[in-house]
Structure 1
Amino acid sequence: MANPETALKEAMTIEGAIGVALVDYGSGMALGTLGDSAELDLNVAAAGNTDLVRAKMRTMEMLNLQDNGIEDILITLSSQYHLIRPLTTSGGRGLFLYLALARSRSNLAMARHQLRRIEANLEV
């Protein structure tokens, strides 16, 4: 099991990683961030993506979707991928991992696979 700091460091080793954050979507606050890209303010991204996660969860509830929850959310920009992965472990409820990738240097399928593995090993 990995602590949040170790998980963030591991996420930054994903090919093309620009930045990563562990976010509390109840408050919108980043509990930890890693990455020093001038093109991305991780605290602003954490707060903004909190609204997205909340909206999707409300929509699923209104539609009465009896799914196991959100596996991940992908936002595709012209030069970046943004992955949002809500934590499913009992200690991680209410948190999500946010990973920004440079599109030209990343493999989206591998990044999703690696982020899933990191989430599974994360102990909060």
Structure 2
Amino acid sequence: MPISFLQRLQELAGPAVNKVVSAAAGAEKVSAERIIHHLLVGLPELLGAAVVEVESGQALASYTTSREFNLSKVVGFNAEVVRQQRRALAVLQLGPEEQLEEILITLHSQLHLLRLLPDGRRFLYVAVDCRDTNLGIAREVMRTCEE
């Protein structure tokens, strides 16, 4: 039986861990949660994941394995990275067939991938540990989320 007071206390302690959290509603919520669950099947050892709206930088659904990995703060900055990269590509005037698909951020022990979803309004953000997941597997799982 869910007790709202206890749930509120847990929220004050930080983001939910090992649980898909959704901020969207209706069909958008269902879609975002489905994508996160698909990711968890393909990448069970991921550090964090989120479906993010590009313009607002808001996570529609997210999942993390650690309270220290605060996705609510990170996704806004990643949305800005996507917007800036789109502006940079527009300056290059490459043509309509050349669209941003993916951004890879490589750290010493982590990979952070941002993959635009087909609608262009949202992107999928995934963080994995390099020791647990290789780039090819992470990319393929993210690509299959689009289908």
Q: After TM superposition, is the score higher than 0.5?
A: yes
Q: Does 1:109 align with 2:139?
A: no
| Structure 1 residue 102 displacement after superposition | 0.8
Structure 1, unaligned runs of 5 or more: none
Q: How does 1:1-124 map to 2 (within 5 A)?
A: 3-13=31-41, 14=43, 16-66=45-95, 67-88=97-118, 92-119=119-146, 121=147
| Structure 1 residue 3 displacement after superposition | 2.5
Deviations 1:20-76 (A, max 9, x none): 100011111111101232342111111010110001000000110224311211000
2: distance between equivalents of 1:16 and 1:76?
A: 17
What is the aligned-residue identity percentage? Answer: 34
1: distance between equivalents of 2:46 and 2:94?
A: 32
Cα 1:105–1:19, aligned 2, differ >3 Å: closer, same or farther?
same
Q: How does the TM-score come out when normalised to structure 1?
A: 0.86
1: distance between equivalents of 2:32 and 2:39?
A: 10
CA contact (8 A) 1:16 1:103 kept: no
CA contact (8 A) 1:15 1:111 kept: no
Letter in 2 for 1:54: R
1: distance between equivalents of 2:44 and 2:101?
A: 21
Structure 2, unaligned runs of 5 or more: 1-29
Q: How does the TM-score come out when normalised to structure 2?
A: 0.73
Please identify runs of 4+ aligned residues in structure 1 that moved more than 6 A: none
Letter in 2 for 1:96: F
Larger Rg: 2
2: distance between equivalents of 1:101 and 1:12?
A: 12
CA contact (8 A) 1:29 1:47 kept: yes
